[in-house]
Each structure stands twice: as structure tokens, then as C-alpha cells.
Structure 1
């Protein structure tokens, strides 16, 4: 069933909730309190129980933090959410552009000298707190209980989703082999603390339902150098599941206490470990060593089984998308709303009888709403899809063999010339990444500009990365690789990424075109002197709206790539369709 987010908060609820928070601050002698969009596990996504930032401010984006002082409250968001935050928060909150303005810099200028700023040590990462403390000049961070929880009367209960097996036939490697392989790489550390839900799910070949749209369980894990794992998880979640002799289960409430029992150096990842974990280790006199979560890179480098599963999931998803796009083209302009569009697409995915869930809330933005990068339609914002508009639909599915994420922008009726030109520039960027061959060792920051070059020529750009990592029936956003100017992790074979340049004209329209791609070793060319060249294999096979393409702007190579892509779409997807959808696909894939 399609869900909207009307009931989390609204501008009307913001003043009273902020006042209640400030009363708690005053009671505890605090001058401020930080409310991040985070939970104790430090993944990107949070359960309703942990969605404190949305409850307090009304902002529902996937990243942000509120710094509440007694006389002002800043809500820090990046470029994806600048339009959205202004529409969602009350005027008692001030949107702040991050990372242009850092939280510590804002506190330095806005908080009184000697201010005590409360933080919940479960909700802030070691690296984050370290950076705050290094930059703060006149304020002090004070660990305390969570003040939002103290005033959130109807806070949902913590999630208790059932944990289930991800079979080796889909995972491609047993949990015993993964544990042994990663334990051997711990070096001098006796164990490693793992808090990220998708890392634990990948390592143990399990999945769960504690996070909406992401098949992960909540828990904590300790990977020991002797190839054992201690899993701290709520009793009852794993009932009937045999994790084998190498995994010992303990109640999640025993996690902090158990830290004092660890022997030898304990590895933590400062980018994901909650501050309270390091505090407890140091209080117990344990040696703390810093290193990357040992699951991150192995999880990102998909094995052959996972890649083949992703290929199959994308073909299934492409057929659902084709049926949806066929239906959409048959609807007269003005007869649909954004929710109608999202519901129809989700129904097509469910009709595959293979969908476990959608992979995130479907973005269905018509006209000006398409310019809100991560727009979430609600009953109050639900707009009609009108003649002459662009319709941006960003969506995906969670299938047991893979996770999909695709964006298509469609013309409703006859598009304007500006829209066609800018759509073509975005398409040229997507094609540039798709066609790229590059030397091993390059990272996202080295190639992100190729997706923007045609937009830059026209003085245009977009305020988000070009691509993110994607899991194998796991989180739709997965690190550590990124196709972005901030991406520093070199690409390696098996990494799945999105390729999604865009352009957004605030108040008018949005454009984004997104395929998923997987890094592969490139075939050697005659006379090649650079060894270990890499390339991208396309996973997504859905037509791109030819009505929005200005063919005169394309180079011959770009046109040839697009024609070949559409020929491949027809070859792969047509056998999965019949009737009007099959006819639509053949028409949509005609060469330019």
C-alpha cells in the first residue's frame, strides 16, 4: 500500500515541540541540544522510533541535523534538500546550507560563550564528535540522555522485525567463510565492533525488517580474530534461525556491558561507531584502535552470484517499468495525480510476485515538484499531472536476488524547448559515464565531472552526487564508493553504483535519468599501454523518453550509444511482455 508522511509533523507542530525540547534543556542546565537524523546503529536509514529529526522539525530528508538553542534552531541540510526543507519546517527553524556552513561554525557564531550543548552519545559518531570538538571555540559538548525522547509522548516502539536467512545460493558465500576471511584481516586487533545494520546482515547472510524499505535487522556485532562473531540482538528476532557454531547470540541490552569483557585491542570505525561505545571501552581500560568497518569493501565488491542476481532483478523490474510506462502514456493529461502514478508503479512491481518491498519511497514529482530532489508526495501536496509538464519518477524494488533503483523523466504532452535541451544535456552526462573506460585506481571524484560537462557548458549544474553504491538485496544507498566529487574510494570490479545526473529549475521542473551500473574489468584493446582498465556494465534496461531528446545536440557516438541501448532494451525485455506493453516497448525503442 502506498504510504505518505502527512502525520510525522507539520509546520503547525514545530513551535510546540521545539518549546518542549527547550524546557528539557533548561531543566538540565543546557544551552543547546543536537538532534541528528541518526540511530544507535549509525546507518543512513532510521526506524520510525528513531526519526527524531522529522518529529521535531517536520523535515523528512535522509540526512540532516538540528542544532537547537534557546533563541534559535538551525536545520542543516545539503543541496538535495534546500527546497524541501523550506517547505517542511516551521519558521521557528532556520534552514542552514551544509556543508557550506558546518554545525560547529554555526554554534561558534550563534551560541553564547561557554554554552553547554547536549548530545546523545548513542546518536553521534566518533569522527563527527571529534570534528565538532576540534572546531568549537566557545561551547562545550555535554553527553546526556536524549531530550527528544523525553517529550515525544507517542514515540513508536523500537522495531522487532523477524530475522531470516539469505541463502548461499543468492549470497554466493557462506557466513562461515565470510567470518573467517574478514577475521584473518583484522591485523593486530583482537576483535572489531560492527554497528552498521547492512554490514551485519551481509556478514551473517541474514536479512530483516527493522528499517522501512531496507531488509536489515537492528543489532550489534563483535567480529573476533579467531573467526567467531558475537551478535547482540533483541530476544525473539532470530527465533527458529540457526546461525551455526561460529555465531553466539546475546541480548542487545548486554552490548555495552560486554565491551568491558573484550580482551586485546578493539577495532572501531570512527566513521560509524557511536561515541558511547568508545567511551565505555576507554572507561574499561581497553585499547581502542581505529580502522574501517571490515565489512564495507567486501560487501561493496559483489561476487559473481550477487551480480547475476542483480541482473535478473533488473530484468524483472524493467518489465514492470515498461508496463507502467505503457499505462502512463495512455492516460490523458490532467487525469492523474502524483499519488496515482506512484500507486500504479508500485502495483506493477508487486504484480511480478517476486517483490519483497519497494527499495525506498517512490518519488513522483510533477512540474515544480520534480525540482525537489527527494520529493515525497503527501495527501496535502498531491498534485495533478498536467499537459506540458515533466514528470520525474524515481523508484526501485527490493527483490530477493537484487535491489533496483531507477529514475525516468517523462514528457506529459508536448515539452518545451528549454526542457528538451536540458534533458539532452543530462542524458549526455549519463551516456558519458556509461561509455567510460578508465584506469584502475580512479575514484568517483576523478570522473564525476564527465557527467556534468555538458551542463557546465550552459552554466548549469546539480547539487547532488552523480551516483551512490547499491546493495545486493540490501540498502539502496551503500558505501563506501560514491560517484561524486566527495568520492575518494577507488572503484573495483563488482561495485554497483547509480549513474544519475540531473537538472532542477526551482519552481518549474526537474530532470533526472538514472541507471544502475556495475564496475567490470575492461577488455584489452590492441596497442593498449595502460594495464587494468575498468568499465561499467549497465544493469538497467528501460527506455528513455525520446520525446525529450534534442537529437541535434547529440554527437554521433552518443546517438549510437542510445540506439544500441534501446536495441538491447528491446532484445532483453520484450520476451517478458505481451499485448499493449510489448507494442509500447517496440515503439519506445525505435532508433533516433
Structure 2
């Protein structure tokens, strides 16, 4: 690994380049990618889903956010790569860093994996910067680079989507007219999946296909590897008057377009953008917003998925609680067992991400992934954090619960309860329609601030409908301060505050919540959240004295809903355990 990054440093030095930038994403700005695009991990060893590697002729630097500080420090400790903790005091941004390299720095990267958004920010922040497209060097350095293997595409049944392909395309055509554009280039993989009611499995846990789409008033074209499409898929596309062209042809087609093309700068790569003669950017791409606001069928089905997920989680909770201290359990074995419980559902398709199962100090690693080398034995004490989710035939789930595995310290109980107070604060929030994610984030964090506590990740992210577990445009975090990040009725978003004591424990409480209109008055439309996750919080870890009457009432009401809703699908010892786990406090 060190030798490979050295080859890149030699390339940088020999070609008069000041820095080579390696991104996390693929050609579509995806958060999760296939192995072929994991260049950053190949070069420096850091495997997190967010991070940017900057290589100079003498050194290498990795920028990542607070979710990954602990993990990155561990994975980089045997390398010469310097960890740059983004957002921390005294740590320069990537732009501030490269600006100091030269008066007119020469920056190289693979244009196909750089988003338009990044390049625009680079040009804005670093005056006189020269950009060099050098993706081919990675192919030369990375011997036996994994290929992108095509998987089969499939379509949602008409009764599962809630809206036809024809209707979605017509709405996008109307959006184009409003934007004064003749064409829309759809680059986001989950937007394409939503637009065509099409799913796949090109990226692990993300039911999407590598594809592009161009939509105009004349129709729609899907750029995709035809090996992915069987006769049934082609028939559906033909019935909806959708043309099919090879995946790579999109570059030539956009080059030939003379009309104005609407693009998503967060998901369009710079190589493709450079070929468009007349591009228009928009703050929120139309399909991204429409996808995020779930229709009535999607909402109904997502609630069904959460009932099935709640049953699986309840069985898992009983399993680990009854066996703690009696049977040998480890992080990996418990993650596998949880997957087995989910697989009992005939509607289970896959996990929605790699299960995070962190015991004791490993729980403090926000996006921890157990390996045979790090796999901890779970003892009859302390806290176990389990962040997991699934893809069902009619919805995506994402849930985190922190469990007391026996005796817990007063410090652990206190932290557990304070984080729960933050979770409840957001769950109970009432707010004007159009409220930004930053304002909602403050509502969640305020109870923790009162105790001098905080966490270095967002409070909430959107979740797709049998799609990606992370979805925009809505986002609940301190940085989500523009209208683009507003949480609107119909959006499904996570509520997941946490607290992480490095070397000791981690706590996170996560439910998915549906934004609904609560009431309209002379002062406006007000919204609230309806919790759709149906799993008990571990009462054994709660310090009841720290909860006020309103918080206790919310928790008791929530547990009553869980008991009534999933109880009808349980019997025997599982039902008895549910009744105990949802007892009033």
C-alpha cells in the first residue's frame, strides 16, 4: 500500500503537479461505491464512506469528518498519511491547504470522479488554480483493479410505486419548462431508479443500477449496459417510450446537444459537465425533491416494512438480553444473528448497509465495522451499539439501539438518558412548514448542550423507498441552513443523536420519522413528526430521574404503540419479552 501511494507521489513530482486529489465517489457522486472506485482506500487504507485524500510529492493527507476521526486514526497509524480532522480548530480546509502550495497551484484528479460542485468550489476558493485530468495514472498504479460487474435490473410492480413511470417523466418535463431548459441530465443513481421505477444491485446494499438518463419534451433515454436488461425490462421501457443506449454513449450525446441542459452539480461529474455547451445548475434537482417526498403508497408500504423490521429487532433484543453472560457472543456473531432474524421475513431482500455492531469502546467509533481482527467478545456488562437496517420489498429501514448488556455504570446510564432526551426533543417537535435542517438540529441538541455534551455528526438524514439508506435533499445538521435542506411533509428522515466517549462507549438512539402536516392556522402551516420505527428503547439503561414528565409520557406512549403494533405478530416468549420491554416507567 505504501509503495502504491509512493508511485502516485512520483507522478506528482515528475509532472510539476502540486497535489493530486483522490475522492470517495464514483462517476455519479455516490456515497457508497463498488470496489472499482475505492481508490482512496486502496492508496491509504482508510475505508470510511467519506474522506478525501490529497497527495503531494512528499506527503499524503486525509480529510474526513467527525464520524470517522477515531476510525481514520486507527487505520492510518501504520502509514505516513496525515489525518486532517475537517472542521476542527486549526485544521485548514482542502482549499486553504492547496492555496498555500503555490501562487497558481496545479491540481490533478480524475475528472470523472470529481463533482461539478467540488470543481466550482475549488475555482472559487483557489485563485489561478490549474486543473489536470489524470485519472489514467490510477489505472497504471492499481494492478488488478476490480472490474464493475453488471447485475440484473428489475422494476417495481405498478402497485408498489404509487406513481407510474409516465407520470414521473411528465412531471420532470413540466419542471424543465419552469426552469427554461430543454433537457435534463439525470446522473444520480437513486434518482434514475426512482424516475423509472427500476431497481438493481450494482452497489452493495443500494438497489440501484449504473446508468444515466436524459429527459426532454420529446421523451427519455436511458444509458445503461444492456446486459442488465432482460426481455421483461426492455418491454416495460419500450411501453413507456424510453430509448436505450449504451452507458458510455452519454458523453457523445451531451456533446451534441445545443439546448439548455439542467444538471445536478452534486451528482454530475466534471468530465461530463465539460462536454455540455449550455448547462444550468439548480439548488435542488427536481427528481431529488420529488423522490424524497413520499406518496401515499410509499408511506403505507414503508410503515409495513417497519412492522416487519420491528418484529426482527424485538427477537434480536430478546436473544442478546437472555444470553448475555451465559453464551459466548461477539460483535460479528450478533450482526449475523440479526440478519438471520430479518431473513425470516419473506419480503426481506438485503441489508440496507453493513451492520454497525460496536461493543464498549468500539461503540465510540461512529461508523464502526467489525473485522476478525477487531471483533470484541460481548460480556455481561456495558453498552452495545447496533446500527442496522434492511431492504424489504416495500421499503428501507434504518434503526439504532443501544443495549445494556448487564451492569452499566452511572456514567453510561446518565449519557444514555441524556441522548434519549435529545431524541425525544426532535421527535416531539412542532415547526413551520419549510423549516431548515439546521433549526431542527438545534432542537435536538439543546438538551445535550444543557449537560455540556455534543456529537460530531448530523442528527438526521433522508431515507429512500427501497432505495439508498442515505437520501437528500433534506438533512438535519448544523450545516443544513438553506431552504434546500428543509424537511417537508412526506419526507422520511432519521432522528439519531448520539454521544461517544472514546475508549469507553458509544450511544446512539435512531428512529425514522415521517414529516406530517399538523395544523394550519392564520400564522401558517405547522408540521410534526410521526415515528415509524417500532422497536423498544432499552429501559434497563435509563436513569428515570433525568427525564421530565413530558419525556416519560412520550416514551410510555411510544412503547404502547410498539406493543400494540408488533405484538399481534408475536407469541409465547417473544410476546412476554415485548410486554416487559415496553413496560411503563
Q: Which TM class, normalised by the smaller chain length?
A: over 0.9
| Match of residue 84, structure 2, among 81, 87, 96 | 96
Q: Does 1:536 align with 2:532?
A: no
CA distance in 2, matches of 1:81, 1:506: 12
SS of the equivalent of 2:275 reads helix
SS of the equivalent of 2:329 reads coil
Shift of 1:523: 4.1
CA distance in 2, matches of 1:320, 1:409: 16
SS of the equivalent of 1:517 reads strand
Q: Deviation digits for residues 507-527 of structure 1, max 9, x if unmatched?
A: 100000000001111146xxx
Matches within 5 A, 1:167-566: 167-187=157-177, 188-226=180-218, 228-240=219-231, 241=233, 242=235, 243=237, 244-281=239-276, 286-291=277-282, 292-333=284-325, 335-487=328-480, 488=482, 489-523=485-519, 529-566=522-559
CA distance in 2, matches of 1:37, 1:414: 40
In structure 2, the CA distance between the partners of 1:245 and 1:588, relative to structure 1 (3 Å rule), is closer
SS of the equivalent of 2:345 reads coil
Shift of 1:569: 0.6
Q: Deviation digits for residues 272-318 of structure 1, max 9, x if unmatched?
A: 2111112112xxxx222222422011000000000001000000000
- Asked if 1 retains the 8 angstrom alpha-carbon contact of 2:98 and 2:105, the reply is no
365-374 vs 129-138, which moves further: 129-138
Runs of 5+ in structure 1 lacking a partner?
1-12
Aligned to 1:7: none
CA distance in 2, matches of 1:151, 1:578: 58
Shift of 1:233: 0.7
- Asked if 2 retains the 8 angstrom alpha-carbon contact of 1:201 and 1:216, the reply is yes
Shift of 1:262: 1.8
Shift of 1:423: 0.8
| Match of residue 128, structure 1, among 118, 126, 138 | 118
In structure 2, the CA distance between the partners of 1:332 and 1:440, relative to structure 1 (3 Å rule), is closer
SS of the equivalent of 2:340 reads helix
- Asked if 2 retains the 8 angstrom alpha-carbon contact of 1:189 and 1:225, the reply is no
SS of the equivalent of 1:544 reads coil
SS of the equivalent of 1:565 reads helix
- Asked if 2 retains the 8 angstrom alpha-carbon contact of 1:107 and 1:139, the reply is no
CA distance in 2, matches of 1:583, 1:564: 19
CA distance in 2, matches of 1:195, 1:323: 40
- Asked if 1 retains the 8 angstrom alpha-carbon contact of 2:19 and 2:98, the reply is no
Aligned to 1:150: 140
Query: CA RMSD for the aligned pairs?
Result: 1.5
TM-score, with structure 2 as normaliser = 0.95
CA distance in 2, matches of 1:324, 1:222: 45
CA distance in 1, matches of 2:440, 2:166: 37
- Asked if 2 retains the 8 angstrom alpha-carbon contact of 1:371 and 1:506, the reply is yes
- Asked if 1 retains the 8 angstrom alpha-carbon contact of 2:475 and 2:486, the reply is no
Q: Deviation digits for residues 223-279 of structure 1, max 9, x if unmatched?
A: 1133x1111111211122121242111001211111122231111122221111121
- Asked if 2 retains the 8 angstrom alpha-carbon contact of 1:25 and 1:147, the reply is no
- Asked if 1 retains the 8 angstrom alpha-carbon contact of 2:498 and 2:507, the reply is yes
In structure 2, the CA distance between the partners of 1:229 and 1:259, relative to structure 1 (3 Å rule), is same
- Asked if 2 retains the 8 angstrom alpha-carbon contact of 1:190 and 1:263, the reply is no
Shift of 1:112: 4.8
Q: Does 1:58 align with 2:50?
A: no
Runs of 5+ in structure 2 lacking a partner?
none
Shift of 1:27: 5.0
TM-score, with structure 1 as normaliser = 0.94
CA distance in 2, matches of 1:391, 1:413: 10
Q: Does 1:74 align with 2:67?
A: no
- Asked if 2 retains the 8 angstrom alpha-carbon contact of 1:439 and 1:530, the reply is no
SS of the equivalent of 1:260 reads helix
CA distance in 1, matches of 2:131, 2:72: 26
Shift of 1:565: 0.7
Aligned to 2:109: 119
Aligned to 1:9: none
- Asked if 2 retains the 8 angstrom alpha-carbon contact of 1:112 and 1:139, the reply is no
CA distance in 2, matches of 1:206, 1:182: 16
CA distance in 2, matches of 1:234, 1:165: 16
- Asked if 2 retains the 8 angstrom alpha-carbon contact of 1:133 and 1:141, the reply is no
CA distance in 2, matches of 1:249, 1:475: 24
CA distance in 2, matches of 1:177, 1:566: 40
Q: Deviation digits for residues 1-35 of structure 1, max 9, x if unmatched?
A: xxxxxxxxxxxx3x122112223334544342111
Q: Deviation digits for residues 401-438 of structure 1, max 9, x if unmatched?
A: 00000000001111111111111111011111111111
SS of the equivalent of 1:122 reads helix
Matches within 5 A, 1:11-30: 13=1, 15-26=2-13, 28-30=15-17
Q: Deviation digits for residues 428-486 of structure 1, max 9, x if unmatched?
A: 11111111111112111112112111211111100001000000000000000011122
Q: Deviation digits for residues 108-165 of structure 1, max 9, x if unmatched?
A: 23x3555422111111111211111222257532122242222111211113011100
Greater fraction helix: 2
Q: How many residues align?
A: 570
Shift of 1:529: 4.5
- Asked if 2 retains the 8 angstrom alpha-carbon contact of 1:112 and 1:138, the reply is no
Aligned to 1:106: 97
Shift of 1:387: 3.0
- Asked if 2 retains the 8 angstrom alpha-carbon contact of 1:47 and 1:159, the reply is no
Q: Deviation digits for residues 79-103 of structure 1, max 9, x if unmatched?
A: 1111110011233111112245321
CA distance in 1, matches of 2:129, 2:117: 18
